[in-house]
């Protein structure tokens, strides 16, 4: 009798674990995970604005008070420089790794002078930058990313329709470029 109970419990626990693994793994096998969708938006190192309606890959900006842009990157050879001048009511930025885990986030209230100025680098690149400091990076926020690929989501708030042009210009002027050493 105890062997039967043991076999049943083992089978049930195994089935539950298998189902959890399958459910969590589906996005990776279907190509519908966030990173795959963002990379399908277009070229890397460019902020791609999202509209209110879903595009061909299924991304959109459904919040009527936020405008979004996404940029995917690969920092395997050099760091990533993220810059944008303030001028909107509120902005926020989040960096994600390729598995959609948040690596870093900030907004205009936590930035220097309300501007976006972030340098994203691997641990080795961060060590190299700290060895030979660059004066132009004195106000830049240095972020360490353990991986080499990921994406950035930049949001601008539009609390009223008259501020739409400012938010659109903010996102259009934002840069997501490989760091050249300034």
Whether 41 and 104 share a structural domain = yes
Whether 133 and 149 share a structural domain = yes
Position 74 scores a pLDDT of 96
Whether 16 and 71 share a structural domain = no
Position 132 scores a pLDDT of 79
- CA torsion angle for 49, 50, 55, 60 (degrees, to 10)? 160
145 band by pLDDT with thresholds 50, 70 and 90: very high
Position 27 scores a pLDDT of 64
Whether 122 and 48 share a structural domain = yes
117 band by pLDDT with thresholds 50, 70 and 90: very high
Between the CA of residue 34 and those of 15, 65, 105, what are the distances in Å?
28, 22, 17
25-76 confidence digits (pLDDT tens): 776 666 678 898 999 999 999 999 998 888 888 888 889 999 999 999 999 9
Rounded distance, CA 170 to CA 156, Å?
8
Q: What is the average pLDDT value for the chain, to the nearest integer?
A: 90
Whether 26 and 69 share a structural domain = no
Higher pLDDT, 22 or 68: 68
Whether 8 and 48 share a structural domain = no
Whether 69 and 40 share a structural domain = yes
Task: Please count the structural domains in the chain.
Answer: 2
- Domain extent, residue 162, equals 36-178
Q: What percent of the chain has pLDDT over 90?
A: 60
Whether 11 and 98 share a structural domain = no
Whether 22 and 104 share a structural domain = no
Q: What percent of the chain has pLDDT over 70?
A: 96
Asked whether residue 113 carries a pLDDT value surpassing 70, the answer given is yes
Whether 86 and 24 share a structural domain = no
Position 182 scores a pLDDT of 57
Rounded distance, CA 107 to CA 154, Å?
9
Q: Is 107 exposed, middle or buried (0-12, 13-18, 19+ CB in 10 A)?
A: middle
- In whole angstroms, what separates CA 25 from the centre of its chain? 20
Whether 145 and 78 share a structural domain = yes
Q: What is the mean pLDDT of residues 136-140?
A: 79
* CATH number of residue 138's parent domain: 2.60.40
């Amino acid at each position: 009798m105890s062997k039967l109970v043991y076999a049943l419990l083992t089978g049930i626990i195994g089935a539950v674990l298998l189902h959890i693994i399958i459910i969590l793994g589906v996005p990776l096998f279907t190509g519908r995970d966030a990173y795959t969708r963002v990379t399908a938006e277009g070229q890397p190192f460019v902020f791609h604005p999202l509209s209110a309606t879903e595009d061909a890959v299924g991304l959109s900006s459904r919040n009527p008070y936020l405008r979004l842009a996404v940029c995917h990157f690969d920092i395997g050879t050099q760091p990533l420089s993220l810059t944008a001048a303030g001028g909107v009511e509120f902005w926020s930025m989040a960096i994600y790794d390729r598995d959609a885990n948040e690596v870093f986030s900030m907004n205009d209230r936590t930035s220097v002078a309300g501007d976006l100025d972030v340098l994203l680098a691997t641990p080795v690149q961060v060590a190299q930058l700290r060895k030979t400091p660059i004066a132009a990076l004195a106000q830049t926020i240095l972020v360490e990313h353990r991986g080499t690929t990921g994406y950035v989501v930049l949001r601008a708030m539009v609390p009223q329709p008259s501020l739409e042009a400012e938010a659109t210009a903010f996102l259009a002027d934002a840069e997501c470029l490989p760091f050249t050493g300034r």
